[in-house]
Homo-oligomer: A and B are copies of this chain.
Amino acid sequence: MNSSDEDRRHREKMKKWKELQDKEVANKKISKGVLAVHTGAGKGKSTAAFGVALRMLGHGKKVVVVQFIKGAWLTGEREALKRFDDLVEWHSMGEGFTWDTQDKQRDIAACERGWSVAQEALKKEDVALVILDELNIALRYDYLSLDLVLSDLKSRPVMQHVIVTGRNAKAELIEAADMVTEMTPVKHHFDAGVKAQAGFEF
């Protein structure tokens, strides 16, 4: 097969793909706020959520972040988002990983304060995206009522997007979600003795 044949075949294949793609896009007519869950043991759950935040901010939309557990680990994101203080509200409820506090009642109180703040955001039409960072951890340890959380999520403004992050998402939340992505670790540099580094990990 000579090069121009190959080019023609490529062109035809891509044309078919494009038709399929256009048809798929045409079939999607619903606009609505998406409830997304980022779960799994791999990296990138919170990171991908903040990537979506960045995108929203690029469209001039408002974002609220409620951090449930890991108080100390989003320093870079938090600092960077200060350039968007016209559009971003940031609430930190956790005091670090739960194994740092060793005090279950204090953790529960922090999660409950966090949920009150989340409830406010989940009522505001002008908030385009609510990030509930590590909410899955709070739910896993039953620090918050799953029923309450699901009901508040369900009654939020119809166009509002929500991203819930954290390992071990509850089955009921996965059921309620529009989009669920599992981040699966295939290979990790921590296993090779590389330490967490400013900018890359926090």
Which A residues are within 8 Å of any B CB, using their own CB? 6-7, 10-11, 14-15, 17-18, 21, 24-25, 27-32, 34, 38-40, 42-44, 46-59, 61, 74-81, 83-84, 97-105, 128-129, 161, 174, 177-190, 192-200, 202
Q: Smallest Cβ distance from A80 to chain B, in angstroms?
A: 3
Residue of B nearest to A10 (CB): B104
**Complex contacts, A83 vs chain B, CB 8 Å:** 83-84
Contact, CB under 8 Å: A78 / B51? no
**Complex contacts, A28 vs chain B, CB 8 Å:** 190, 193-196
Enumerate 27 A-B pairs (CB-CB under 8 Å) in ascending A order.
Answer: A7-B105, A11-B102, A15-B102, A21-B99, A30-B193, A31-B195, A32-B194, A34-B200, A39-B186, A44-B181, A44-B183, A47-B51, A51-B51, A55-B199, A55-B202, A56-B76, A56-B200, A58-B75, A80-B84, A83-B84, A129-B200, A161-B199, A174-B187, A178-B187, A180-B186, A181-B186, A184-B184
Contact, CB under 8 Å: A188 / B196? no
Contact, CB under 8 Å: B54 / A54? yes
What CA separation (Å) do A75 and B81 show in the bound complex? 18
Q: Which of B14, B31, B101 contacts A102 (CB 8 A)?
A: B14
Contact, CB under 8 Å: A180 / B174? no
Known contacts A28-B196, A30-B192, A30-B193; 7 additional CB pairs below 8 A are A54-B77, A57-B76, A59-B79, A177-B187, A180-B185, A181-B186, A182-B183
